[in-house]
């Protein structure tokens, strides 16, 4: 499933104000991928701390990550620290350019 998010804060990589996130993606031998339904039940207007990985236009999160509603993420936020604001929207879409397990504070749109 593909979900559009507004990014409030980020901790790793180069992240823009809006990102698209795939959920429930399983990778199998031979390059086969299975995309399941919503792992987290994301709801419009809710805020989440999302641990995402992947390449520029293909951010992914799975049920194995620490993704949770922001109200339940106090311990993680304390460990992560202040974070920083996302980059302003560019003409060309460039979602993330850093290694796996980027922590993002996101609001479902």
pLDDT in tens, 21-77: 887 766 677 777 666 654 567 888 899 999 888 876 778 887 778 888 999 999 999
- 5-16 average pLDDT score: 87
Give the number of domains in the chain.
Answer: 1
- Kind of pairing between the strands at 68-69 and 58-61: unpaired
Cα–Cα distance, 76 to 32 (Å, whole number): 32
Q: Using the predicted structure, report yes or no on whether residue 91 has a pLDDT greater than 50.
A: no
pLDDT computed for residue 93 by the predictor: 47
pLDDT computed for residue 104 by the predictor: 60
Instruction: Give me 80's structure tokens.
Output: 């992560």
**Range(s) of the domain holding residue 55:** 2-108
pLDDT computed for residue 77 by the predictor: 95
Q: Using the predicted structure, report yes or no on whether residue 102 has a pLDDT greater than 80.
A: no
Cα–Cα distance, 54 to 45 (Å, whole number): 24
pLDDT computed for residue 97 by the predictor: 37
């Amino acid at each position: 499933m593909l979900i559009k998010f507004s990014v409030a804060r980020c901790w790793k990589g180069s992240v823009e104000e809006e990102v698209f996130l795939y959920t429930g993606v399983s990778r199998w031998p031979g390059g086969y991928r299975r995309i399941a339904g919503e792992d987290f039940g994301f709801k419009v207007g809710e805020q989440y701390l999302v641990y995402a990985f992947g390449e520029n236009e293909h951010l992914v999160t799975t049920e194995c990550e620490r993704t949770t509603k922001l109200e339940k993420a106090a311990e993680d936020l304390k460990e992560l620290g202040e974070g920083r604001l996302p980059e302003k929207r560019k003409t060309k879409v460039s979602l993330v350019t850093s290694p796996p397990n980027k922590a993002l504070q996101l609001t479902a749109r």
